[in-house]
Amino acid sequence: MKFDFLSPTFVRFGSGVLETTGQETCKIGRKVLLVTGKSSSKKSGSLKRVEKLLKRENLEIVLFDQVEQNPSVETVEVGAGVAREAGCFCGKRISCRLRNARKRSQGRTEA
């Protein structure tokens, strides 16, 4: 078997980088497909936080929040259809764990 595979990826990691989400995203386009699971990002508040950062840059958000654990091919196809219909430039799954950040800001840390 022989093939070529190119997967350009930009990863930004570190304290405070979530705050640049809107600024970095608007370099790519103005309409965002925000892909998330059914409940955890809502319960944790991370979805609202990311939406706020995207709206700060006047980005239009199309939310696809129907991703189950271990997503099926059918779910991926539905999400792709939502993106096509909405005219989104790209889809990006943003998963945020803010629990540790909140504890540090309250003066506590986890081991």
- Chain mean pLDDT for the chain: 80
Helix, strand counts (H, E) of the chain: 5, 3
The pLDDT of residue 5: 79
**What pLDDT score does 90 carry?**
54
Low-confidence stretches of the chain (pLDDT < 50) are 91-106, 108-111
pLDDT at 51: 95
Q: Nearest to residue 37, comparing CAs of 69, 82, 12?
A: 69
For residue 9, the model assigns a pLDDT of 77
Residues 6 or more apart whose CB falls under 8 angstroms from that of 23 comprise: 57
Instruction: State pTM to two decimals.
Output: 0.69
Query: Residue-wise over 28-50: b if at least 16 C-beta within 10 A, else e?
Result: eeeebbbbbbeeebeebebbebb
The verdict on domain 27-105 having CATH code 3.40.50.1970 is yes
What tokens appear for 77 in the block? 């196809």
